[in-house]
Structure 1
C-alpha cells in the first residue's frame, strides 16, 4: 500500500498557541503510520514556518523551534508540495492531506484554509467560509438567528466605540441587567472573556476584550448548565452524546480550562432524553447551516429554570488535549483516538 504524506500544522500566531502544541502532539500520536508519513510543521508566534522532524514530545514543551528547518506550503496548485529548506538546498515533498491543529486567529478563521484551497491540497475540517463565519461570534449569531434556535441576546461593540465608552455603557445597561458576559468576537479557549457584575467590571472587561479583537460581544447572562456536543461528517452528519462542563471558577475561562484541576467534564450529562436529543439535533443543524465539513464542537446552555436549550458557540477546530471534550465524547461512543483521526483524514480526502 502506498502511504500518503500528511502535514500536521501546529502552533500559530494566536493567543491559543500553547493549546495547539498539545493538540498536535495528540493528533500525531493518533495517526496510523502504516497509512501515512507524518510531516509536522510548526508556525512560531512570530509567524515563521518550520518543519520539525525530532522527538514529538518536544512539541508540547515548545522546544521544537530549536531544531526546526524553514518550510513552506507551496500555493502552486500544480505542485501540492511542502518545501523544506535544508542548508544550501530545497527539498520538495508531495502533500496528500493537511491536518491543521491550529486554534484561533490565522488558523481557525479561514485564512490558512484559503492557502490550502489555493494549493488544492485536501485538509481536515471546515472550508474558508464556514471557518471564517464560525470563528466570528457576531456573524455566527446572525446565521443561527435564521434557524429559530434560541441564543443569548447580545450587543455588538467595536473597539473604536470605546473612545466614547459612556455611550457603550448606557446601551448595555439599557439592554441588560447585570451580570453580563464580554467576549472578543474572534477568539477561542475563552481568551479575553470576562463576566461583569457591575459597571466597573464592564469597563475592565471591554478593555480586556479589545486587546484581542476589534469586535466585542456583550451578552446576557444565561443561568444554565454548560453542555457540549461533537459533530462529525461532510454530508451525513453524526452527533455524539452530550457532555457537561463543571467549571472550578465562576465560568469556564482559559485558566479554569487549562490550569485548574478542579474543573471537571462529564461525558454523559444527566439530562432528560428529549433535551439531549434536541441538543444533538441542534448541533447538526447549526453545523450544516454554517456549511461545516469534517468536524466541530457545538456548545450550549441548558437553562436551569426552564430547561430550555440555548446555543452558545461553535468551535470548528476543537482541541485534542487530554481535557478536550471533542475526542472524549467520541471515545465514549466507541470511536477511539486512532479511529477518530483516521476518519477525519478520510473525510478530508473525500
Structure 2
C-alpha cells in the first residue's frame, strides 16, 4: 500500500491472496484469476500491482486476460526510483536497472526505446524477428549506460580519494525508507535536502560537513532508504551509491520507532547492510526517531533502554528532541586515542606543514638547519591522512 501511495496512486482495493503453490502460467489458480478479474473490472481500476515477483509469462498472461497494465514489486519500485532520482548517477543507475528488468521480459520494449532514441531500424537485417531486434536495442543501450556509469564512478572515486586526504571521519545515515534520515540530515547540517513523508525521498547520497560537540568536524552522508526484498537489480545498480556506507567510520541506523513494524524494518536494514559487505564489527548507533509520535509510556520505555545502552539514541528529528545527546554519543563513538610524536619536514614541504597547522595538531615547532621539527598530537587516522599527502 505504502509503495503504491509513494507514486500518488489512488488505491481502490487490496487483497491478500494465500498461495499454497504458485501457478506457472498465471501465478494464481483459475478460480482466483477469474474472481480478481471481475473485481478489477467492477472497480474500473487502471493498474494492478502484485506485491511479489511475476515471471514474464505470468505478467503477460494476466495483462492479456484482465486487459490491464500490471506491475510486480520490482517494477513498482523501479517506477518510484525513476521518479525520485536526481543526480546524473542516480538517473543512470535507475535506467540500467530498468533496462535489465525489461530485458528479462522483452514486452513492448521496442516501442519504448524507439520513442526514446528515434528508432533502431538500422540494427536488424532482413528476417530479424522483433524480439531479436528488441534484445539488440536493449543490449546496446545497456552497454552505453554502463560506459557512462563507469565514467561517473571514476569521478566519484577521485572525489573519494580527495576526501581521504581530509582527516574528517565519515558518518553514514542509513535506515528503512521514510524513517526520517533526511529530516535528521537537514537538522544537523542546516541543509535543504528533500525531506517528505514519502518512500524513497532520497535516492542519491548527499554529503555535508558538520561540527561535533568536541570541536572536531565530520562528513555526514544521507543515503537511499532501504526496503525489504529490495530487487536484486537495484542492489547491484545502486552499489556505487551505497559505497559511502562501506567506507563510513560510523553508521547511524535511523529507525521509525513509532512504526508498527519497526523491528521488521530494522532487521531488513541489517540484512541489506550485510549483503553490501558491511561487517558486524562496523560501529553502529541505532537512532530511534519519531519518539514524539509515541504515547508517553512507550516513549519513556524507549528512553530507559537508551539510557542503558550507548548504541541507542532516542530522538525526534522533527522537533530536535534528543539530537544534542545523539551528537555527544557520535563524538564519543568517533573518539580515538591520540599519541604525541615529533616529525621532521624540509623547508620546502610547506603543504604538509600547513595541513598540520590547519588541523590544530601542532603542539610546538622548532627550526633546524634543514627544516622544521614539529611536535604533534594526533590519532592514527590523522597520521594516515597526513602520510597520504605524500
TM range (shorter): under 0.3
- Structure with the larger RCO, 1 or 2 (CA within 8 Å, 6+ apart): 1
TM-score, length of structure 2 as denominator length: 0.22
Judging by fraction of residues, say which structure has more helix.
Answer: 2
